[in-house]
Amino acid sequence: MTLLKRPINVFLVHTHRDRQAVHDLYACLARNGIKAWLDTESLQPGQDWRHEIRRAILMSDIAIVCLSRSFIRHQGFCQEELKIALEKANLLPNGETFIIPARLEKCDTPESLSGWHRVDLFEEDGYKKLIRSLRKYVRAD
């Protein structure tokens, strides 16, 4: 487990069809002092969005993959974001956490994510479990 002395940077992999649920997650993370990268909040006009998204994923400490039935069916850029996150995760030593699958609703988990324990955000204590997990990566000074 990597311990950081700075705020943790999180990237939210998602499909735009889940925009409201992911924005709610973004707000929850912010309230808990966790810096999240979300395209609608972080991209600036005129930026090459593909380049910026790739850079943000690679610079993040954790990628939360927001899973839903829409995400599983969608063939858009969210699948490319997932590939980039998986590439980075595969470069890390065994035992290092980079990907956290987070189900927004009851849905299947893609085979590519089956090795990572997921959190169900639709469960009563789902957000609490996620925040507790993320805080483990930040060293208390």
pLDDT digits (tens, 9 = 90+) for 82-135: 999 999 999 988 878 899 999 999 999 999 998 899 999 999 999 999 999 998
In 3-state terms, what secondary structure has residue 64? strand
Burial label, 28 (beta-carbon count in 10 A; 0-12, 13-18, 19+): middle
- For residue 28, what are its two tokens? 């929850």
Residue 139 pLDDT grade (very low, low, confident, very high; cuts 50, 70, 90): very low
Predicted pLDDT of residue 140: 42
> Residue 34 has which token pair?
């966790």
Spatial distance between the Cα atoms of 67 and 25, rounded to a whole number of angstroms: 12
Q: Which domains does the chain have, with CATH numbers?
A: 9-135 (3.40.50.10140)
What would the pLDDT profile of 59-88 be if each residue is shown by its tens digit?
999 999 999 999 998 788 898 999 999 999
From residue 33, how far is each of 6, 16, 26, 118, 129 by CA, in Å? Answer: 11, 24, 11, 22, 15
Q: Is 28 helix (H, G, I), strand (E, B) or coil?
A: helix
CB 26 within 8 A of CB 38: yes
pLDDT at 135: 85
Number of C-beta neighbours around residue 79 at 10 A: 15
Shortest CA distance to 38 belongs to which of 69, 7, 15, 68? 15
